[in-house]
Amino acid sequence: MTIRMTINGREYETDAHPMMPLLDVLRESCRLTGTKYGCGEGECGACTVIMNDELVMSCMVPVMQAGGAEIETVEGLARVAENGEEILHPVQQAFLECGGAQCGICTPGMVMAGVHHLRHPDRAPGGLREALEGNLCRCTGYSAIFRAMEQAAKTGHPE
C-alpha cells in the first residue's frame, strides 16, 4: 500500500512496509537523515519529530499510522532569508549560542522537543525538565540545554 505524508510542508509517498517504523522511512525512503536512531525503544528521544502537532518518537510509529499526517522534522525549522543566508529557528540559535549541542546526535530530537514545548507549554506542567525528559543527552548534563531553552523562550518564536 502506498502511504502519503506531508513532511516539512512537502508531499511524500512511500511504498514502505506498513510496519516499517516512521524513523526508517524518514531516513531511508525520504532521505531525511536529520532525525536520528538512538535506541529503537522509545526511550532516548533522538528520533523525536512532531506529527500532527504532537511530539512523537518516530521509531515507535508504524508508518501505516502516519498516513495523511503532517510531520515536522529538524530539517524544516530553519529558513532562508532573501539574501540567501540561513536563519536558524530561535531554539536552534539559542542552542548554538548556549552550548546546547555537543556531539549533536541527540540534538535534532531535543530541538524538536524544545520547539514543541515553546508552542505548547501547557503539555508539560512540570516545565522544562518534564518537557525534555524523553530526550536523553549524554554530553551536556542538560544544563546548557536548559539555558538555551530559557533564552529561546525570551527571544520568542516566529511561528
Partner 1 sequence: MTVSPPEHHELRYVGRSVTRREGAHKLTGRSRYIDDMHVEGALTGRTIRTTIAAGRVRDIRFPEGFPWNEFTIVTAKDLPVNEVALITNEQPALVDSIVRHHQEAILLIAHEDPGLVQEAARAIEIVYEKDPGIFEMEQGRVLKDLAIRHGNTEQAFSGENIVFEGEYATGAQEHVYIEPNGFIAWWENETVVLHGSNQCPYYVHKAVKNAFALERDDQVRVVQETTGGGFGGKEEFPSMVAIHTALLSRKAGGKPVRLIYDRAEDMACSTKRHPSITRIRTACTREGVFKGIEVTFHIDGGAYLTLSPVVLSRGLLHSGGPYRWPAAKMDGLCWFTNSPPYGAFRGFGAPQSEFAIERHLDRLSQLLGICPIELRRKNFLQRGDVLPTSQIVEEDPELDHIVDRALELSDYRAKQQSSPCGSGHGMGLSVFYHGTGFTGSGEVYLSSVVALEAQSDGTVEIQVSSTEIGQGTETVFAQIAAEGLGINIEQIRFRKPETGAVPDSGPTVASRTCSIVGGLVEKAARQMREKLNGRDVAEAAAMDSLRAEARYEPPPGLVWNEETYQGCAYGAYSWGCNVAEIVLDSVTAELRVEKMWGIYDIGCVINPVLAVGQVEGGMAQGAGWATCEDVVLREGLMQNTRVTNYIIPTSADGPDMVVEFVEHHNPIGAFGSKGVGELPMDGPPAAIANAVAHATGQNIVSIPIRPEDILK
Partner 2 sequence: MIASNPVRYRAYVPVGVEEALEQKAAIENLLPIAGGTEVMVLLNEGLLAPCPVQSLHQLAGDWRGIRESDGSLIIGALATYTDVRHHPVVCERYPLLVESAKVTGALQIQNRGTLVGNIVNGSPAADTVPALFVYEANIRLLSSSGERVISINEFYTGYRKTILRSDELISEIILPAPPDGARHYYRKVGTRAAQAISKVVVAGIRTDHETKLAWGSVGPTTLRALKTEKAIAGGASPEEAAVVLMEELAPMDDIRSTRNYRLAVSRNLVMDFIHKTKE
x-or-dash string of contact with partner 1, 104-143, rule CB under 8 A: xxxxx--x--------------x-xxxxxxxxxxxxxxxx
87 binds, among partner 2, partner 1, none (CB under 5 to 8 A by kind): none
Nearer to partner 2, 112 or 144 (CB): 112
Q: Are 122 and 130 in contact (CB under 8 A)?
A: no
The interface with partner 2 within residues 89-128 (CB under 8 A) comprises 113, 122-124
What is the DSSP track for 9-72?
TEEEEE---TTSBHHHIIIIIS--TTS--S-SSSSS-TTEEEETTEEEEGGGSBGGGGTT-EEE
x-or-dash string of contact with partner 2, 46-85, rule CB under 8 A: --x-----xxxx-xxxx-xx--------------------
21 binds, among partner 2, partner 1, none (CB under 5 to 8 A by kind): partner 2
Nearer to partner 2, 123 or 157 (CB): 123
Cα 22 from Cα 124, distance rounded (Å): 25
In Å, the largest CA–CA distance within the chain is 45
How many residues at the interface with partner 1, by CB under 8 A?
58
- C-alpha cell, 59: 521509531
Cα 147 from Cα 153, distance rounded (Å): 10
Q: How far is the CB of 136 from partner 1 (least distance, A)?
A: 6
Nearer to partner 2, 54 or 79 (CB): 54
Nearer to partner 2, 141 or 158 (CB): 141
Question: What are the backbone angles phi and psi of residue 54, rounded to the nearest 5°?
Answer: -115, 145
